[in-house]
Every structure is written in C-alpha cells, then in structure tokens.
C-alpha cells in the first residue's frame, strides 16, 4: 500500500507542486478557483467530474476564508465558519467517495480495495485538520490544509483516472 502511495505522489508532483506558489499570491476566490479548475482532469462517469468541481468550489471558499483569517487575529465567528466549512467539505467528500466506491464495486473495477483505502486516508487527514483548527492557530493549519488539497488533486487526476479510463474503454466518452 505504501509503495503505491509513493508512486502516486511521484507522478503527481508536477500537477500540484505549484499550488503552494499560487496560494501565496494574493488571488481572488474566482482566480484561485479557475486556476484549480484548469488543473482538474475530467473523469467519466460525468457525475463524478461534476462532484470534483463542487469539491473545488468548496476548497476555493475555504481558501478565501483562511486568507482573511491570516491577515489579522481571526474572530470567533470566522473560526466557527471555518469549522463549519471544513465539516461540510468532509461530508461532501465522504459522500462522493461512497458513490465512487459503489460504482467501482458495481462495475467490477479491479483496484477498488486500494482506492477505498486511499479515500479512508484522505478522510482521516481532513479529520486531523479539523482537530488542529479546533486546538491551534490558523496559520499552523494552513500547511496541512494545502497538503490535503494537494492530496485530493493527485487522487482525482491519477487514481480516479483509472476507473475513468476503464469506463471510457467499455462505454466510450459521454455525449455532453
């Protein structure tokens, strides 16, 4: 399992290494979102691509809030909002993962066990961020937050592509 993670990370560096550089630039939410959208590789079935886009929308909202919170001492309301957003993000990601896993099981996708394990690791990383948001300063959490985003991007652009490639081979690309 570890070995596979390592390979995935190696493949993915080129896609995600400039994310941190983008983050330090003072981008608007829309600029940040459109930069991420450009990096996103589409997958089939199409509904999973749309869910990936929704995850990016949520990440972009989180980005904006975190940037605001870093400029000065965050208010209690902002901390509350951050916690709420992280909770919603985690919830949406978990639902997305469940749907992907069900799809892979129904279609006898060969790598479903590894894929499930990768999803579970992601959820535990987000839980770690949540825990740190609760107990530590925001700036301390930022690095971990971006690591989580990098991980998600890597996962979508490489591991999710595996089921997508099989789907396209079996049924062809979607019409729209």
Q: Which residues bind Fe ion (CB under 5 A)?
A: 100, 160
40 or 147: whose CB is closer to Fe ion?
A: 40
Dihedral sign for Cα atoms in the order 109, 113, 117, 123: positive
Residue nearest Fe ion (C-beta atom): 160
Smallest distance from the beta carbon of 140 to Fe ion, in angstroms? 28
> Do 7 and 137 contact (CB within 8 A), yes or no?
no
Least Å from the CB of residue 105 to Fe ion: 13
Which residues contact residue 147 at a Cβ distance below 8 angstroms, ignoring those fewer than 6 apart? Answer: 125
Smallest distance from Fe ion to CB 122, Å: 8
Which residue in the block uniquely carries the two structure tokens 């972009």? 60
- Smallest separation, CB 5 to Fe ion (Å): 14
CA dist list (Å): 146 to 100, 101, 141: 23, 25, 9
Residue 50 CB-density burial (10 A; 0-12 exposed, 13-18 middle, 19+ buried): exposed
Q: How far apart, in whole angstroms, are the C-alpha atoms of residue 55 and residue 139?
A: 22
Over the Cα atoms of the chain, what is R_g? 17
**68/103 with CB nearer Fe ion:** 103
Nearest residue (CB) to Fe ion, 8 versus 81: 8
Closer by beta carbon to Fe ion, 44 or else 160: 160
Nearer to Fe ion, 60 or 69 (CB): 60
């Amino acid at each position: 399992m570890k070995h596979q993670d390592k390979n995935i990370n190696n493949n993915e560096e080129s896609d995600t290494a400039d994310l941190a550089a983008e983050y330090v630039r003072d981008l608007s939410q829309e600029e940040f979102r459109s930069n991420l959208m450009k990096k996103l590789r589409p997958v089939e079935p199409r509904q999973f691509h749309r869910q990936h886009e929704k995850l990016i929308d949520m990440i972009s909202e989180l980005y904006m809030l975190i940037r605001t919170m870093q400029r000065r001492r965050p208010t209690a309301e902002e901390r509350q909002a951050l916690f709420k957003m992280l909770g919603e993000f985690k919830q949406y990601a978990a639902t997305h993962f469940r749907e992907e896993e069900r799809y892979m099981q129904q279609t006898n996708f060969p790598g479903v066990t590894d894929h499930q394990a990768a999803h579970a690791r992601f959820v535990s990383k987000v839980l770690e961020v949540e825990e740190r948001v609760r107990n530590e300063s925001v700036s301390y959490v930022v690095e971990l937050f971006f690591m989580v985003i990098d991980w998600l991007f890597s996962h979508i652009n490489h591991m999710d592509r595996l089921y997508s490639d099989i789907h396209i081979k079996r049924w062809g690309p979607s019409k729209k």
